[in-house]
Structure 1
Amino acid sequence: MRLGIFAKTFDGTDPATVLGAVGDAGFSASQYNMACSGLASMPDEISDEQVRSIGEAAAKTGVEIVAVSGTYNMIHPDVSVRQVGHRRLEELARHCAGMSTGLITLCTGTRDPVDQWRAHPDNDLPDAWRDLLEAMETALEIAERYDINLGIEPELANVINSAEKAHRLITELGSPRLKIVMDPANLFEVATLEEQRSTVSAAIDLLADRIVMAHAKDRNPDGSFATAGKGVLDYPHYLGRLKAVGFDGSLVTHGLSATEAAGVATFLQDILSGASAGDGR
């Protein structure tokens, strides 16, 4: 697996500076965010010059842009907000080739009108699922038009809050362009070691053929998020299971400070070296 990190972990609005910091910290891949170019994460407009500077920075630093963040609330209760998100997604997709990437990561959304990462009881209602299907169909039409893939991840606060729902969405939409970003820390909050391992194994096994990228963060014992390696997540088990199902894509860490980055790179590389000895069961 190739080690990567969210580009916005590092300060700066110049792609060469940001990606240089990514490489210096020990990572060869990055999930890019347009904020690293001094823009909104989902801009209304991206210039050809801005795109060119990203591509040139990636080539100069040797850091591969394995994905670009394209998160917006796909089931926002206000339809007009969703429509703005769709337009911005198309603008991002239009420039993916210039950034040498073929993957945009999404947020499947929540009925919360303010925070796309906050749970809402209406997320489990039939109309939320209907709106997600409609939004994803629009997004997949964009993906087809620009020859890219879209990555979603099961996230407890979103409408796709389990591996089973992700699998259902894949089945109902039937598009090979819909991929999975696997983040085990988004599959549980507080769990025993046995429960955690069971949940993570089941999710990876169910979604194995669609996993295009893996994320790396952690959970504290109280359920809050933590930096990878500083919480309760069983990383040898997680990475062993990914290897067992044949995943060889990028492992991208996030939710950490820039000062922690080099240490996390070392931690993950050490686990990856050990994971090759077994399947993580």
Structure 2
Amino acid sequence: MTSLRLGIRAHDLPATSLTELLKQAEQYPFTHLHFAPAKLAQIGLGSDLTPGLANYLHQQLQSHGLTVSILGCYVNIVHPNPQIREKNLQHFEDYLSLARWFNNPIVATETGSVSEDGYSEANFSEAAFDQVVASVRRLANTAEKLGTVFAIEPGMNHPICTLEKTRRLFNLVDSPNMKIICDPVNLITTENYRQQKQLIDEFLEDFGERIITFHLKDFTIRHHRCDVVSFGQGQFAREYFIKAIIARFPHTFCTFEGIQPQDISPAIAELRRYVNIDLV
């Protein structure tokens, strides 16, 4: 049995200060965090970072045995308002520049929405896809100049909503500085959940070395809906997924996402049925 490195999204911990966040993380075998400052207002952070603040946060985390594996910058890179879209892209580029002060984690985002109101069927249009390509190509160019790496995360309600569209994007923006977050649950629907093992295989086979980290969550099908739940609480092919990734990516970064605090310990116990967890 090989092992993986386990982390959690920092904003999934119920902390109200950085000190409390670090103490809570220390209760579990976490070695890294998915750290999205804009989602950490409860501990006094916001989306704006400076080199000094970033380095301070890095040192505080490091003193507690933690690193930032993913620096989350979840801005809408296809916002319908060109001025807002430009501001969002500049903000992401700022994070690419600041990543060095966190010891060079991956800067990550989803692919947004062409509607100001979130979900829209217009996200699935070719026009939306073309806008993603334009925005991602720009971010790739910036990342290459800075020597940093960024990742996208496909999702059902976003313009990059299938593996086929993800492949097209990577073919059009062929940058060594662009990676992908592997989260099969993001692509599972009421129509394809019975083929989830095939989806897992296709994801791993198609993107291989492009995959930089894995999200761990679960899903249930209820009343003709696919609902996301904590890892270990649903119908996801957990054993199949974990064994598939550790066979190909030993000691890889895996992160609990969207987990409820009371579900963390049971999720760790479930995970340990299939894999060892690195403690450093």
Shared fold per TM-score greater than 0.5: yes
Aligned residues of 1:140 and 1:178 also touching (Cα < 8 A)? yes
The aligned counterpart of 1:86 is 89
Question: What whole-Å deviation, never above 9, does each CA across 1:103-123 have from its counterpart, x for those lacking one?
Answer: 0111112222122xx3x2212
Partner of 1:38 in structure 2?
44
Q: 2:236 aligns with which of 215, 221, 233?
A: 233
Match of 1:72 among 66, 70, 75: 75
- C-alpha distance in structure 1 between counterparts of 2:244 and 2:203, whole Å: 10
SS at 2:113 equivalent = coil
The RMSD of aligned alpha carbons is: 2.0
- Structure 2: gaps of 5 or more residues: none
Q: Residues 258 and 7 (structure 1 numbering): CA distance in 2 closer, same or farther, change over 3 Å?
A: same
Q: Indicate yes or no: 2:142 matched with 1:136.
A: no
Q: Confirm or deny: 8 A CA contact 1:188 1:196 kept in the other structure.
A: yes
Inter-partner Cα distance in structure 2 for 1:192 and 1:159: 18
Contact preservation (8 Å) 2:13, 2:21: yes
- Cα separation, partners in 2 of 1:174 and 1:10, compared to 1, 3 Å: same
Q: Percent identity?
A: 18
- Please tell me whether the aligned partners of residues 184 and 238 of structure 1 are also in contact (alpha carbons under 8 angstroms): no
Question: Which letter maps to 1:10?
Answer: L
Q: How do 1:39-118 and structure 2 match up within 5 A?
A: 39-40=45-46, 43=47, 45-115=48-118, 118=119
Compare relative contact order (CA 8 Å, sep 6+) and give the higher one, 1 or 2.
Answer: 2
Who is 1:179 aligned against? 179
Which residue of structure 1 lines up, in the alignment, with residue 263 of structure 2? Answer: 260
Q: In the alignment, what sits opposite 2:212?
A: 212
Q: SS of 1:219's equivalent?
A: strand
Secondary structure of residue in 2 paired with 1:31: strand
Q: How does the TM-score come out when normalised to structure 1? A: 0.88
Going from structure 1 to structure 2, the CA distance change for 1:104 and 1:152 (only over 3 Å counts) comes to same
C-alpha distance in 2 between matches for 1:207 and 1:190: 24
Q: Which runs of 4+ in 1 moved over 6 A?
A: none
Q: Which stretches in structure 1 are left out of the alignment for 5+ residues?
A: 275-281
Q: Which amino acid letter does the alignment assign opposite residue 76 of structure 1?
A: H
